[in-house]
Amino acid sequence: MALTLPAGACNAHCHVFGPRERFPYAADAAFIPAADAPKEDLFALNDRLGLQRCVVVQSTCHGFDNRVSEDALAARPASYRGVALLPADVAAHELQRLDGAGFRGVRFNFMGHLGRRTPIDEVMALAARLEPLGWHLQIHGEPSLLSELAPALRRSPVPVVIDHIGRVDAGLGLQQPDFQALLGLLRDPRFWVKLSGIDRITRSGPPYADALPLAAALVAEFGNRVLWGNDWPHPNHAGPLPDEQQLVELIERFAPTAGQRQRLLVDNPQRLYRFGDLA
């Protein structure tokens, strides 16, 4: 590749699907993938791209049965971590068990196409139980909903990670109200943002010229609380699937210095997900 990644570079947002014979999809899943995307394919992709660490985010197609993600973490326990999907009333012993398996947070979806939304008061009650574990909340929501939830999210006792640049419309530019609202959230030091999904928020298509300035602004202002992931295998993607190598090489466009890339790809994920020793 044209870009050499720093040692310990992390793909902080991706998924695994199936194989469905071993890990069936949830009966009430909001979507069923057309094809499985097992851990072996993810490992091969990350290895080819030079991504030595990884965060597997449990997908709604598998629901609250986190075994498929747990299986991937177990295969690479030092370098892979997980973000679970859980009911807000999950038992304390299950949280402890998942922590030992390498999970570091819980994701909540507030996107219309992904099914039932957990009431925000229940999310905040769970957040209080996550604090002793050193876990975080991960929030995936439409931009207008993020603004609506902001007052509650600001009460969180644990870090809050916003997915996919807040799902803003990149075509509306840096001054749009939704992106400015995201910047407002990030001025609270509890908030983080994933610079994943530039292929989802673009209007221009690859190489995503309209989305890159938004990512660059976030790196420049909040460089110690940004994360990057490729969102493989790109579930529910509306357009052509992105080129995985291009997604990696575009990092240099919004994180042009070695120091910025070190924080984005290595230091920040290490702090949030607490990886083991790569050696």
Contact 141, 131 (CB under 8 A): no
The total number of residues shown for the chain amounts to: 279
| Alpha-carbon span 230 to 196, nearest angstrom | 6
With CA atoms as reference, report the closest residue to 175 among 185, 164, 165, 183.
Answer: 183
Which helix (H) or strand (E) is 110 found in, with range?
A: strand 103-110
Both tokens of 162, joined, read: 């916003």
Residue partners of 47: CB distance under 8 A and separation at least 6: none
Q: Reply yes or no on whether 65 is catalytic.
A: no
Which helix (H) or strand (E) is 254 found in, with range?
A: helix 251-254
Active-site position among 231, 243, 267, 277 = 231
- Residue 9's identity, in one-letter code, is A
| Alpha-carbon span 12 to 264, nearest angstrom | 10
Give DSSP secondary structure letters for 21-66: TTSPPPTT-S---SS-B-HHHHHHHHHHHT--EEEEEPPTTTTT-T
Residue partners of 183: CB distance under 8 A and separation at least 6: 217, 221
Which residues are designated catalytic? 231
